[in-house]
Amino acid sequence: MILRLSLFLFMLFSAAGSIAADKVVLVTLDGLRWQELFTGIDETLLNSLEFTKSAETLNRDFWDDAPEKRAQKLMPFMHGTVFKQGAFVGDLRHGSCAEVSNRKNFSYPGYSEILTGLVDHSITSNDKVPNANKNFMELLVDNAEKDKRFHAAAFTSWDVFPAILNVDRSGLYVNAFGPLEVIASDSERRIQEFYFDTPRPWTNVRNDVFTHRYALEYLEREQPDVLFISYGETDDFAHDGKYHEYIWAANRTDRFIGEVWATLQRLDAYRDNTTLFITTDHGRGQLPLESWQHHSPTAPEHVEQDSLLRYAQGIAGEEAVWMAAIGPDINTRGEIITPNGCLTSNRIAATLLHTLGIDFRTLNPNMGAPLREFLR
């Protein structure tokens, strides 16, 4: 009888659109274009002697005449699981539009918009300036009832995240760029050995495999309420002008996301209880061809860094992003068409709070409102 009653109550709450998940995993891929996510490898770039090495291998692994099939070959987990069982937006060919609101179209403003739900025009560079705005994880920790600790953690390839997440104020656990400070298991020790033995492609972004492996170890052992994983290779290989590496990074990261999802479904604390939300911090150019490498503020006064001012007027389309989600609170409708305007990144934080049963207005009413299109 009690079982029946609880089943009845469950159905009642479900019908009312209530909250099923109490965990969130947010994943970002830095600067992965919607073009590759939805149409796969780009034919012109694939055949570019300037940008692509190993064209034969790329052709074998990722080419198909049909854009949809190319996209499935490049990112099979996103297409085969997330898009089929969840919801997504950003394929501009179909009138499905997502964009950042910050008009700067580079990383710090993009991540701040995603994580805080706010658009702060005073953020004008990627410098390690502690974020004045509280992100949704910090707000959840602050808001937790005294007897219940709220546990959030972040693993990021880029070394600016301790500033974006203002760790000195927020106290969030953030492992960014560098090695683990505390080794808690034999497998972590092994991963750490590889970290020190592997060449480092960049001085401020690490290979995503370490972000990924550290995050999975932590997820299993510490079981945080919210986990943020930020992969970075796609952006940096693009800036380096290496389209082959950009493509391989996209394909690898798709597999990583699949591993995250498989881990969540294996663990009792997360199975059927977790929202997985995946997005990017900015787009990149498309025309002229070489602009695929770059992104640049729409208005020069928005930025302090010369390296970001390659295009005085910005690059067409670089504000375009994409979003995808899967989980018990997420609509299973698949593609979201946006006839009334683009969905914006400043609404992601409130959407994630909603899946946790929290009205964003109780934490910060200035956040963008939840993306109802994603919710059941």
Residues at the contact surface with Zn ion, assessed by CB under 5 A: 31, 235
Q: Which is nearer to Zn ion, 104 or 347 (CB)?
A: 104
Q: Which is nearer to Zn ion, 31 or 109 (CB)?
A: 31
**Which candidate, 293, 327, 321, places its Cα nearest to that of 102?**
321
Q: Shortest distance, CB of residue 236 to Zn ion, whole angstroms?
A: 7
Measured at the CA of 182, the angle between CA 176 and CA 186, to 5 degrees, comes to 110
Residue 146 in contact with residue 93, Cβ under 8 Å?
A: no
Q: Which is nearer to Zn ion, 235 or 373 (CB)?
A: 235
Pick between residue 109 and residue 370 the one whose CB is nearest to Zn ion: 109
Least gap, CB of 281 to Zn ion (angstroms): 8
- Angle at which helices 55-62 and 67-74 pack, to 10 degrees? 100
Cβ closest to Zn ion, residue 134 vs residue 282: 282
**Residues found in the chain:** 376
Three-class secondary structure of residue 92 per DSSP: helix
Within 8 A by CB and 6+ apart from 187, the residues are: 217
The residue number whose beta carbon is nearest to Zn ion equals 235
Closest CB 282 distance from Zn ion, rounded Å: 7
Please, what is the minimum distance in Å from the beta carbon of residue 171 to Zn ion?
Answer: 28
Closest CB 157 distance from Zn ion, rounded Å: 12
Residue 158 or 261 with smaller CB distance to Zn ion: 158
In the complex, the smallest distance separating the C-beta of residue 151 from Zn ion, rounded to whole angstroms, is 31
C-beta of 53: minimal distance to Zn ion in Å?
Answer: 21
Burial class (CB in 10 A: 0-12, 13-18, 19+), 6: exposed
Cα(341)–Cα(334) distance, rounded to whole angstroms?
A: 18
Rounded-to-integer distance, Cα 116 and Cα 201, Å: 30
The residue among 35 and 275 lying less far from Zn ion, judged by its C-beta, is 35
Cβ of residue 148: shortest distance to Zn ion, in angstroms? Answer: 38
Helix (H, G, I), strand (E, B) or coil at 229: strand
DSSP symbols for 176-219:
ESS--SS--SHHHHHHHHHHHHS--S-SSB--HHHHHHHHHHHH
CB of 315 to Zn ion, least distance (A): 12
Whether the CB-CB separation of 78 and 324 falls below 8 Å is answered with yes
Query: Which residues, including other chains, have CB under 8 Å from residue 186's CB and lie 6 or more apart?
Result: none
Q: CA angle 207-324-177, nearest 5°? A: 20
Nearer to Zn ion, 111 or 248 (CB): 111
Bridge pairing between strands 323-326 and 87-89: antiparallel
Q: What is the DSSP letter of 368?
A: P
Residue 31 or 283: which CB sits closer to Zn ion? 31
